């Protein structure tokens, strides 16, 4: 049944009146009650902020639409009343949107949320950013990015005391390197956002407000915006600080932005918004057409809902495939829809950010919905198909004006069929796809319009309806075996471990970075399935005989290695940062060496004729055949390990009572330990670290696990580059292979 076949009835009036009563009646009644009782209008009960809160309640983040087309006219009228009343009550000031410095906001339709460790963004082999190839892929796959969010700390933050700002400082080249990175991205016409984690309060403190540090960072690297992680809004003085640091810097909230802050927050996320069958209206976009929202459901593999909402609201999309180290790739179909959308949105940004927007105009086909955007002589309809079937035929009927030309912008062609004073616009829309019609007088179509249609035709020719998102294959770095030692001739200070086949339980925290694609360990990570809970899985493990160091490698041990080899890492940032003038700190010679990355540890092991233990070898050496919880037994015992009581690392042989069944020290607490478990899926490199450490960042569940850990606990440590991977809390011990018993 088409929308015109529905009859209009008294519902039209009732919907309009209901909205007006909810806004004007309810709020004004509150004011009258205040005045009648002798209190001022801006009392504690009904202050301007309270009224704004009432408006916020009524104007939900996404205002749903009635399913009956007969009610749409009244719904639109109610929307207009809502908007007028809300803007009046909050005394809306749009002066920031009028500033030329912020003109770019309205056309920032596609934002990419990029993990800075992503191997398509940073090449670990060459230790350099690969901006051109990264942005080229964005153009080819998605239609190009207008902005990128440089995500840095989470889920790595918390393994040591570095704060979120240190993570930017420790990126390749430091802040100068970030400034160059920003320049390179700007040269491609793309804006740069940095990230702010307000929950980071348990790491190293800097003695001044976060807002001040962020403003300094923005100025230093020339960032264009700040993404406000986990926040509804920024602090009140944020805008002043940013304006003083650099013109045109925007704030974008992750959570629902209060309407009174739209005036100084130019962007906001539309995260996990659920739409009605007849597409609804984004509240922020309805109130301020120049405000940019980015639709996002980061764990979804079907992005139809986000794409439809963005298309019908003239709003944006957040592209996010590498979700903190978990791969959630886009399907070919969703990429095709976005590629078709973006050129239209960018070319006609004045229509999408202008004042003449009519949501839900009538169409001629069931399951097809449309919004109308107008400016001057141009009329643009954005259409979408909610059904699983392709629709074809007459989609819109309009009054015909002599001299008007009509174009299909998604399946590029000039279209029209005039009967008397009515023109019928015909076309086809793919299942759950989009469409667009544009009309105007002949003079409205500039010389480059033909070229635009040609590019749209090429884009349409690439359309792919495959709804299965690409999967990545995880690869384990080969473990190179050492010389096989006879059991009685293993190196000194090592424990011999016999061959074993056993069921091994592994525990890990269900974090957004995922864990591993090992079949037994591959977990479906989703907040609704218990984010941050401890997950335990059991798998069958077979180990050949090996020997493992009784203690972690110490500062003194590493000093001998350096003297013997003159080893210098390719990149020296943070290498042995805790040493003084090239020597171990006095009194800490027998503490575990830290501030070494995987390659530093491998270099030492190779020199010693050893290798790093696999994660399974490490665990078995820690817990023994009986699978005990801690190296010393099944119950926690105070004083059996360095659990933070020293405030730093401790001697590797200090806790004799905490030894494992094979006599190994420090397999719980003191420092985390590298294992030979490096994996990559082509986007994320990581290593499994074991044992826990003396350090624990308190105050937020978003931090990585700290403190001592059980023998079976495994943590996924995402790798980027040596300067970031070297930590104050990660050391290592070595292993060798042993001959099989006869």
Q: Which H/E stretch holds residue 547?
A: strand 546-549
Q: Which residue has the higher pLDDT, 50 or 406?
A: 406
Q: Is 607 in contact with 568 (CB distance < 8 Å)? A: no
Cα(652)–Cα(641) distance, rounded to whole angstroms?
Answer: 10
Average confidence (pLDDT) over 440-452: 90
Q: Which residue has the higher pLDDT, 29 or 424?
A: 424
Cα(37)–Cα(6) distance, rounded to whole angstroms?
Answer: 48
| pLDDT attached to residue 18 | 37
Angle between helices 72-89 and 48-58 (to 10 degrees): 160
| pLDDT attached to residue 520 | 59
User: Does residue 20 carry a pLDDT above 70?
Assistant: no
- Going through 400-481 in order, the beta strands assigned E by DSSP cover 404-408, 413-414, 417-419, 422-429, 434-441, 475-476
| pLDDT attached to residue 56 | 66
Q: Which of 69-73, 382-386, 444-448, 560-564 comes out lowest in average pLDDT?
A: 444-448
According to DSSP, residue 398 is labeled E
Question: Of 139, 134, 162, which is closest to residue 150 (Cα–Cα)?
Answer: 134
| pLDDT attached to residue 417 | 84
User: Does residue 14 carry a pLDDT above 90?
Assistant: no
Whether a cis peptide bond, with omega within 30° of 0, leads into 232 is no
Cα(248)–Cα(228) distance, rounded to whole angstroms?
Answer: 16
Q: Is 672 in contact with 715 (CB distance < 8 Å)? A: yes
pTM as predicted: 0.91
- Hey, CA dihedral for 397, 399, 400, 404, is it positive or negative? negative
Q: Is 548 in contact with 497 (CB distance < 8 Å)? A: yes
**Distance (Å) of CA 427 to CA 363, 396, 454:** 12, 9, 17
Confidence of residue 61 (pLDDT cuts 50, 70, 90): very high
Cα(7)–Cα(73) distance, rounded to whole angstroms?
Answer: 12
- Going through 400-545 in order, the beta strands assigned E by DSSP cover 404-408, 413-414, 417-419, 422-429, 434-441, 475-476, 494-497, 500-509, 534-543
Q: Is 224 in contact with 111 (CB distance < 8 Å)? A: no
What percent of the chain is predicted at pLDDT more than 70? 90
User: Does residue 518 carry a pLDDT above 80?
Assistant: no
Contacts of 107 by beta carbon, 8 Å cutoff, 6+ apart: 146, 345, 346, 349, 353
Domains for the chain: give ranges and CATH numbers.
3-89 (no CATH), 96-271 (3.20.20.80), 485-737 (3.90.1580.10)
According to DSSP, residue 585 is labeled P
**Distance (Å) of CA 576 to CA 175, 373, 545, 554, 558:** 21, 61, 33, 12, 10
| pLDDT attached to residue 592 | 98
Confidence of residue 4 (pLDDT cuts 50, 70, 90): very low
Cα(212)–Cα(715) distance, rounded to whole angstroms?
Answer: 33
Q: Which residues of 93-118 are buried (b: 16+ CB within 10 A; e: fewer)?
A: eeebbeeeebebbbbbbbbbbbbbbb
pLDDT, tens only, 632-682? 999 999 999 999 998 999 999 999 999 999 999 999 999 999 999 999 999
Helix, strand, coil % in the chain, rounded to nearest 5: 30, 25, 45
């Amino acid at each position: 049944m088409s929308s015109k076949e529905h009859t209009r009835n008294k519902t039209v009036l009732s919907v309009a009146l209901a909205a007006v009563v909810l806004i004007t009646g309810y709020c004004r009644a509150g004011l009258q009650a205040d005045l009648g009782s002798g209190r001022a209008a801006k009392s504690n009960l009904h202050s301007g902020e309270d009224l704004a809160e009432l408006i916020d309640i009524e104007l939900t983040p996404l205002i749903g639409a009635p399913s009956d087309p007969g009610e749409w006219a009244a719904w639109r009228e109610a929307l207009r009343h809502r908007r007028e009343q809300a803007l009046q009550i909050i005394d809306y000031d749009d002066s920031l949107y009028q500033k030329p410095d912020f003109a770019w906001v309205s056309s920032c339709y596609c934002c990419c949320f990029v993990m800075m460790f992503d191997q398509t963004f940073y090449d670990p082999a060459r230790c350099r950013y690969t901006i051109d190839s990264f942005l080229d892929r964005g153009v080819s796959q998605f239609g190009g990015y207008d902005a990128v969010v440089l995500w840095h700390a989470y889920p790595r933050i918390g393994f040591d005391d570095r704060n979120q700002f240190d993570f930017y400082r420790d990126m390749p080249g430091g802040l100068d390197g970030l400034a160059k990175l920003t320049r390179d991205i700007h040269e491609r016409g793309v804006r740069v956002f940095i990230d702010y984690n307000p929950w980071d309060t348990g790491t190293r403190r800097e003695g001044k407000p976060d807002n001040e540090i962020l403003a300094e960072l923005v100025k230093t690297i020339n960032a264009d915006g700040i993404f406000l992680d986990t926040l509804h809004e920024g602090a009140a003085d944020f805008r002043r600080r940013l304006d003083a640091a650099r013109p045109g810097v925007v704030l974008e909230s992750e959570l629902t932005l209060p309407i009174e802050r739209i005036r100084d927050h130019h962007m906001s996320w539309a995260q996990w918004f659920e739409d009605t069958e007849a597409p609804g209206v984004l509240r922020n976009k309805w109130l301020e057409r120049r405000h940019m929202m980015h639709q996002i459901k980061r764990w979804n593999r079907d992005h139809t809902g986000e794409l439809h909402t963005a298309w019908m609201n003239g709003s944006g999309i957040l592209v996010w495939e590498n979700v903190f180290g978990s791969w959630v790739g886009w399907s070919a179909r969703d990429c095709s829809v976005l590629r078709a959308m973006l050129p239209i949105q960018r070319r006609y940004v004045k229509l999408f950010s202008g004042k003449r927007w009519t949501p839900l105009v009538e169409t001629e086909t069931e399951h097809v919905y449309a919004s109308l955007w107008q400016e001057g002589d141009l009329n643009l309809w954005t259409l979408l198909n909610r059904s699983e079937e392709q629709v074809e035929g007459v989609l819109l009927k309009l009054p015909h004006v002599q001299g008007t030309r009509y174009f299909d912008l998604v399946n590029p062609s000039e279209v029209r069929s005039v009967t008397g004073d009515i023109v019928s616009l015909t076309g086809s829309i793919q299942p759950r796809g989009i469409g667009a019609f544009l009309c105007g007088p002949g003079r409205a179509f500039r010389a480059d319009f033909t070229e635009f249609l040609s590019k749209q035709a090429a884009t349409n020719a690439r359309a792919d309806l495959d709804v299965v998102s690409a999967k990545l294959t995880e690869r384990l770095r080969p473990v190179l075996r050492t010389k096989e030692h006879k059991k009685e001739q293993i190196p000194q200070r090592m424990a011999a471990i016999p061959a074993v086949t056993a069921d091994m339980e592994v525990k890990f925290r269900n974090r957004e970075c995922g864990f591993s694609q090992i079949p037994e360990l591959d977990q479906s990570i989703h907040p609704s399935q218990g984010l941050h809970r401890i997950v335990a899985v059991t798998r069958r493990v077979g180990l050949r005989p090996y020997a493992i160091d009784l203690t972690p490698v110490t500062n003194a041990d590493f000093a001998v290695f350096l003297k013997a080899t003159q080893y210098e890492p390719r990149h020296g940032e943070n290498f042995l940062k805790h040493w003084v003038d090239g020597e171990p700190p006095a009194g800490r010679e027998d503490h575990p060496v830290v501030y070494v990355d995987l390659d530093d540890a491998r270099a030492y092991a190779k020199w010693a004729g050893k290798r790093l233990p696999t994660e399974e070898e490490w665990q078995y050496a820690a817990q023994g055949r009986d699978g005990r919880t801690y190296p010393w037994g099944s119950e926690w015992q105070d004083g059996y390990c360095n659990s933070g009581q020293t405030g730093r690392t401790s001697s590797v042989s200090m806790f004799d009572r905490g030894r494992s069944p094979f006599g190994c020290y420090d397999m719980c607490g003191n420092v985390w330990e590298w294992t030979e478990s490096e994996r990559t899926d082509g986007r994320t490199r990581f290593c499994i670290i074991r044992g826990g450490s003396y350090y624990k960042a308190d105050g937020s569940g978003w931090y990585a696990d700290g403190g001592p850990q059980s023998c079976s606990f495994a943590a996924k440590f995402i790798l980027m580059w040596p300067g970031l991977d070297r930590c104050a809390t990660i050391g290592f011990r070595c292993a060798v292979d042993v001959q099989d018993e006869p």
